C-alpha cells in the first residue's frame, strides 16, 4: 500500500475531528478515504495525492451547481470501471457502484471541507 501523502494525512485528520462526517461503513481504502455526511450522503477523498486531491461525490446537478458557483471544477466520471484503482475502489461503496460521479480537485484541507460542506 502506498503511504498517504502529507495532504492525504491532513485531510484524514481534519475529517476525523469534524462530527459532521463519519467513516463510511466499508471503511477507508489504500487510495481513498471514504465517508458519510451526518445526513448519510457518501463521498470519498483521495489520500495518496502529491499536489491536489480529488473529492468524489455522487453525480447530482444540485451539488455540481453549488460547487461551480464557488469556483470548483466538477468533472463527471463513470464509476463502472476505467482500470484505475481509485475508480475501482469507489465501487466498494454501493452509492457509487456502476454510477456516475463528480470528481472535484482540491489543493488544501479548507477546500476539501468546503466541498464536503456543500453535501449536507
pLDDT at 53: 92
Judged against a pLDDT cut of 90, whether residue 24 lies above it is answered with yes
The residue ranges of every structural domain in the chain are 6-118
* Percentage of residues of the chain with pLDDT beyond 70: 92
Q: Which three cell numbers stand for residue 45?
A: 477523498
| pLDDT top residue among 44 and 98 | 44
Helix (H, G, I), strand (E, B) or coil at 77: strand
* Per-residue confidence band for 85, with pLDDT thresholds at 50, 70 and 90: very low
CA 39 to each of CA 20, 22, 66, 83, 87: distance values in angstroms, whole numbers, following the listed order: 8, 10, 18, 31, 24
**CATH class for domain 6-118?**
alpha beta
Could you tell me the pTM of the whole model? Answer: 0.90
Amino acid at each position: 500500500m502506498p503511504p498517504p501523502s502529507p495532504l492525504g494525512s491532513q485531510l484524514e485528520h481534519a475529517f476525523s475531528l469534524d462530527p459532521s462526517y463519519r467513516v463510511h461503513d466499508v471503511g477507508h481504502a489504500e487510495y481513498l478515504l471514504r465517508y458519510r455526511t451526518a445526513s448519510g450522503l457518501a463521498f470519498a477523498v483521495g489520500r495518496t495525492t502529491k499536489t491536489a486531491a480529488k473529492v468524489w461525490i455522487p453525480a447530482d446537478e444540485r451539488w455540481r451547481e453549488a460547487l461551480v458557483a464557488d469556483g470548483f471544477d466538477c468533472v463527471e466520471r463513470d464509476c463502472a470501471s476505467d482500470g484505475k484503482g481509485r475508480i475501482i475502489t469507489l465501487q466498494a461503496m454501493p452509492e457509487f457502484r456502476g454510477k456516475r460521479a463528480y470528481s472535484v480537485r482540491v489543493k488544501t484541507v479548507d477546500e476539501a471541507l468546503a466541498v464536503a460542506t456543500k453535501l449536507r
